[in-house]
Amino acid sequence: MSGVRERLTSRAFSLTAVVIAVLWTTPTLGLLLSSFRPEQEIKTTGWWTMLGSPHLTLDNYGEVVSGGGNGSGRLAEYFVNSVVITVPSVLFPLVLAFFAAYALAWIDFRGRDALVVGIFALQVVPLQMALAPLLKLFSQGWLFLPAWNPTGPARFGHVWFAHTVFALPFAVFLLHNFLAGLPRDLIEAARVDGASHRTLLLRIVLPLARPALVTFAIIQFVWVWNDLLVALTLSGGTADTAPMTVRLAELAGTRGDEWQRLTAGAFVSALVPILVFLSLQRHLARGLLAGSVKG
């Protein structure tokens, strides 16, 4: 009887998962199909009518990527800006958080527990609340950053700094939980053999922490790539500095009726995060369970 119940339960969960997956992906499918439909059909009929009488065109993608001869899209010009903003905004907090998490997990010093609690508490600070103070600091010049100038040689530095600051609390929290769960016997054995913190960090901890590092890298990459608020506020919004999200917000036109641009632009912008996720997803599940390993 228990075996029959388990099979029924398994089938019920499988059926539920399939239904949820279909409902979740249907709007995305409709958006994808609409991106290949002519402008007039998009504005007059629903995407499901394409299933009965398909009319395909690549004009929407040509208009978005290269401008289609009228300069309305030109996402290709903003793609490089997105890459330049996103890659350092992932690497900077990843490296800093890794060193900080190792120190908090395996180096004893006064106030360590209080510091961990403080870093965890910083995650509740809203990003929107910090933008105004950051703009005030940047406009006057602060630390190693010159006065805020979106067209200057350091035009991306302020965006990198903002994304790094906003990402560090979560990165340290995630990596600390993972590193603190590593087998203590392994770390102690390496210390007995005379291993320094540098050796421990690079030869033992770094290979073991790869799932957590990749997990944070994926989350941060998707967040920064899809960010509009920080990019629009600190990049200046020009073609020299603005990422793709800023340009996507402008594709709807002044009257908000250029739907064919948005459907194509959405998939052009989503292509890179999808490729990053698919290439690194095998590490994601283990990294999200950070701290579950017991020594």
- Count how many Cα atoms sit within 13 Å of the Cα of residue 52 in the half-sphere of its side chain: 5
Q: Does 210 map to a domain?
A: yes
Q: Does 65 map to a domain?
A: no
**83 and 46 share one domain:** no
Q: Which residues of the chain have pLDDT under 70?
A: 1-9, 67-74, 140-155, 236-239, 252-258, 283-295
Long-range contacts of residues 151-156, Cβ cutoff 8 Å, at least 24 apart: 151/236, 151/238, 151/240, 151/241, 155/235, 155/236, 155/240, 155/241, 156/84, 156/85, 156/88, 156/235, 156/241
Q: Does 281 map to a domain?
A: yes
Rounded-to-integer distance, Cα 172 and Cα 94, Å: 9
Structure confidence at residue 69 (pLDDT): 46
SS3 142: strand
What distances in angstroms separate CA 215 from CA 57, 67, 122, 236, 285, one per listed residue?
Answer: 37, 36, 20, 30, 8
Domain count, the chain: 2
Reading phi first (left if > 0) and then psi (alpha if -120 to 50, else beta), residue 290 is in: beta
Query: Are the CB atoms for 230 and 159 separated by under 8 Å?
Result: yes
Structure confidence at residue 98 (pLDDT): 92
Task: State pTM to two decimals.
Answer: 0.79
Query: Can you give the CATH number for the domain in which 175 is found?
Result: 1.10.3720.10
Rounded-to-integer distance, Cα 254 and Cα 242, Å: 19
Question: By residue range, what is the domain housing residue 29?
Answer: 2-57
- Count how many Cα atoms sit within 13 Å of the Cα of residue 108 in the half-sphere of its side chain: 0
Number of helices and strands in the chain (H, E):
15, 0
Instruction: Please state the three-class secondary structure of 5-19 as a single string.
Output: HHHHHHHHHHHHHHH
Q: Does 34 map to a domain?
A: yes
Rounded-to-integer distance, Cα 197 and Cα 206, Å: 12
Structure confidence at residue 295 (pLDDT): 41
Q: Does 62 map to a domain?
A: no
Structure confidence at residue 59 (pLDDT): 81
Residue 146: CB atoms within 10 A of its CB come to 14
Q: Does 256 map to a domain?
A: yes
